[in-house]
Structure 1
Amino acid sequence: MTTDRTATGAAPSLRQLLHGEGQFAVDGLDGLLDTPPFKRTAPPCGPERHARTYDRLRALGEWVGGANVLHRDPARLLAALEWSATVDPPLFLAGTVQYAVCVAAMTELGRPGPYLAPLLDEVDRHETFGSIMITEVGRGNSHLATRTEARFDPATREFTLRTPDPAAAKFMSHVAGTGRAHMAIVYARLLHGDQECGVFPFAVRIRDGDRITDGIRITELPETTSVPLNYALVTFDNTRVPYDGWLRDDASIAPDGQFTDPLGDPDRRLVRSLSVSSNASTGAAAALTAAARAAVTIGIRHSQHRLTMGRLRTDLPVLNYRTQQEALYGVLAEVYACSLLVARVKAEYVRRRSARADLSEAHRPVWAPWASVSREQALTKAAATRILQHAAGVCRERAGAQGLLTVNRLLEYEGLAQVYQAAAGDNLLIRLDAGKQLVEDLTHTVSAPTTVGDLVSPSGALALALLRERGLLTELRGRVDTVSVAERNSFETWNPLLPDLVTLADAHQQRLLLEAFATAVADAESPDTGEGAHLPGLHALHTLYALKSLEQTLTWHLECGSLTASDAVRVHLERDRALDSVHPHLAVLLDGFALPDARLGAPMAEHDVVAALFASGEPAP
Structure 2
Amino acid sequence: MPSDPTVDSLRTAILGTETFLHHRVRAVIAGLGDRPSTGLTYPTEASMAPDLLRATIAALGGSAVAIANDPRLHGIVCEWAAVFAPHLLPVLTGHLDLSIGAVTALGNSSAYQRELLTELDTGAAVGVLLLTELGGTNGADQQTIATWDSTRGGFWLDSPDPASWKFMPNIADTTTPKIGVITARVIVDGRDEGVLPLLTRVRTQQGLQPGLSVLALPDKGWAPMDHALILFDQLFVPADGLLGGTWAQIGADGFESTVPVRARFHRAIATLGQGRLDLAGAAAAGARAGLAVTVNYALQRRPGGRTLMADRGMVRRDLVSALAATYATSVLGRRVQDIAATAPTGDPVVGVWSMLVKPLLAYTAHEVLLTCRQRSGAQGSLRTNWIQDWIGNTEGTITAEGESQLLWKQAGQLTFRDFAALALPRTPRILPWYVRMLGDREKGIAAGWRRDDIAVAGITIDRDTAAIELAAATSERLAATALWQASTTAEDDIARGLLESATAVYALERILCRGTWFAANGRMPPRVAQRVHRDLHHHREHLGAHLGELAAGFDIALDVFDAPMAAPDYLRWWQEWAGWPSTPTITSASDEAKP
User: Counterpart in 2 of 1:597?
Assistant: 558
Correspondence 1:18 to 2:14:
yes
- Greater shift in the superposed pair: 37-46 or 389-398: 37-46
User: Counterpart in 1 of 2:489?
Assistant: 523
Q: CA RMSD in A?
A: 2.6
- Greater shift in the superposed pair: 16-25 or 211-220: 16-25
Cα distance, 1:610 vs. partner? 2.5
Cα distance, 1:480 vs. partner? 5.9
Report if aligned partners of 1:162, 1:236 keep a CA contact under 8 Å in 2.
Answer: yes
- Distance in 2 between residues matched to 1:170 and 1:467, nearest whole Å: 43
User: Counterpart in 2 of 1:411?
Assistant: 388
- Distance in 1 between residues matched to 2:138 and 2:575, nearest whole Å: 48
User: Counterpart in 2 of 1:215?
Assistant: 211
User: Counterpart in 1 of 2:336?
Assistant: 345
Cα distance, 1:61 vs. partner? 1.1
Structure 2: where are the runs of 5+ without partners?
580-591
Correspondence 1:93 to 2:90:
yes
User: Counterpart in 1 of 2:251?
Assistant: 254
| 1:523 alignment partner AA | T
- Distance in 1 between residues matched to 2:35 and 2:556, nearest whole Å: 19
SS of equivalent residue, structure 1 residue 28? helix
User: Counterpart in 2 of 1:113?
Assistant: 110
- Greater shift in the superposed pair: 93-102 or 328-337: 93-102
| 2:540 alignment partner AA | L
1:417/1:471 Cα in 2 relative to 1: closer, same or farther (>3 Å)?
same
- Distance in 2 between residues matched to 1:34 and 1:502, nearest whole Å: 37
Cα distance, 1:585 vs. partner? 2.1
Counting only pairs closer than 5 Å after superposition, residues 159-558 of structure 1 correspond to structure 2 as 159-209=155-205, 211-250=207-246, 251-256=248-253, 258-263=254-259, 265-309=260-304, 314-352=305-343, 355-358=344-347, 374-440=351-417, 459-479=432-452, 496-524=462-490, 529=491, 531-558=492-519
SS of equivalent residue, structure 1 residue 305? coil
SS of equivalent residue, structure 1 residue 414? helix
Cα distance, 1:614 vs. partner? 5.1
Report if aligned partners of 1:385, 1:421 keep a CA contact under 8 Å in 2.
Answer: yes
- Greater shift in the superposed pair: 568-577 or 511-520: 568-577
CA-to-partner distance for each residue in 1:255-276, whole Å, 9 max, x for gaps? 34x221122x123311221011
Correspondence 1:72 to 2:69:
yes
| 2:547 alignment partner AA | L
- Distance in 2 between residues matched to 1:415 and 1:399, nearest whole Å: 17
| 2:131 alignment partner AA | I
Question: What's the TM-score, normalizing by structure 1?
Answer: 0.87
| 1:462 alignment partner AA | V
1:407/1:498 Cα in 2 relative to 1: closer, same or farther (>3 Å)?
same
- Distance in 2 between residues matched to 1:570 and 1:192, nearest whole Å: 65
1:259/1:604 Cα in 2 relative to 1: closer, same or farther (>3 Å)?
same
CA-to-partner distance for each residue in 1:418-438, whole Å, 9 max, x for gaps? 222221211111111122223
User: Counterpart in 2 of 1:362?
Assistant: none
SS of equivalent residue, structure 1 residue 115? helix
Cα distance, 1:252 vs. partner? 1.6
SS of equivalent residue, structure 1 residue 206? strand
1:514/1:402 Cα in 2 relative to 1: closer, same or farther (>3 Å)?
same
Report if aligned partners of 2:445, 2:454 keep a CA contact under 8 Å in 1.
Answer: no
Cα distance, 1:51 vs. partner? 2.3
Report if aligned partners of 1:30, 1:599 keep a CA contact under 8 Å in 2.
Answer: no
- Distance in 2 between residues matched to 1:42 and 1:322, nearest whole Å: 34
- Distance in 1 between residues matched to 2:494 and 2:419, nearest whole Å: 44
CA-to-partner distance for each residue in 1:520-575, whole Å, 9 max, x for gaps? 11122xxxx3x434223223322222321221222122222222123313322331
SS of equivalent residue, structure 1 residue 561? coil
- Greater shift in the superposed pair: 339-348 or 31-40: 31-40
Cα distance, 1:495 vs. partner? 6.6
Q: Percent identity?
A: 25
Cα distance, 1:76 vs. partner? 1.0
| 1:521 alignment partner AA | S
Report if aligned partners of 1:22, 1:76 keep a CA contact under 8 Å in 2.
Answer: no
1:577/1:514 Cα in 2 relative to 1: closer, same or farther (>3 Å)?
same
Report if aligned partners of 1:128, 1:180 keep a CA contact under 8 Å in 2.
Answer: yes
Number of equivalences: 572
Cα distance, 1:323 vs. partner? 0.6
Cα distance, 1:112 vs. partner? 2.9
Correspondence 1:157 to 2:146:
no
CA-to-partner distance for each residue in 1:468-505, whole Å, 9 max, x for gaps? 111111122222699xxxxxxxxxxx973332221111
Cα distance, 1:293 vs. partner? 0.8
Report if aligned partners of 1:215, 1:236 keep a CA contact under 8 Å in 2.
Answer: yes
- Distance in 1 between residues matched to 2:466 and 2:409, nearest whole Å: 9
- Greater shift in the superposed pair: 383-392 or 496-505: 496-505
| 1:509 alignment partner AA | S
- Distance in 2 between residues matched to 1:323 and 1:384, nearest whole Å: 24
Question: What's the TM-score, normalizing by structure 2?
Answer: 0.90
Report if aligned partners of 2:501, 2:539 keep a CA contact under 8 Å in 1.
Answer: yes
Cα distance, 1:512 vs. partner? 0.9
Report if aligned partners of 1:47, 1:178 keep a CA contact under 8 Å in 2.
Answer: no
| 1:392 alignment partner AA | L
User: Counterpart in 2 of 1:608?
Assistant: 569
Cα distance, 1:216 vs. partner? 0.3
Structure 1: where are the runs of 5+ without partners?
360-371, 483-493
- Distance in 2 between residues matched to 1:175 and 1:411, nearest whole Å: 25
1:307/1:62 Cα in 2 relative to 1: closer, same or farther (>3 Å)?
same
Correspondence 1:582 to 2:543:
yes
- Distance in 1 between residues matched to 2:174 and 2:493, nearest whole Å: 52
CA-to-partner distance for each residue in 1:189-247, whole Å, 9 max, x for gaps? 11101111111111121111361110100010111232111110111111111111111
| 1:304 alignment partner AA | L
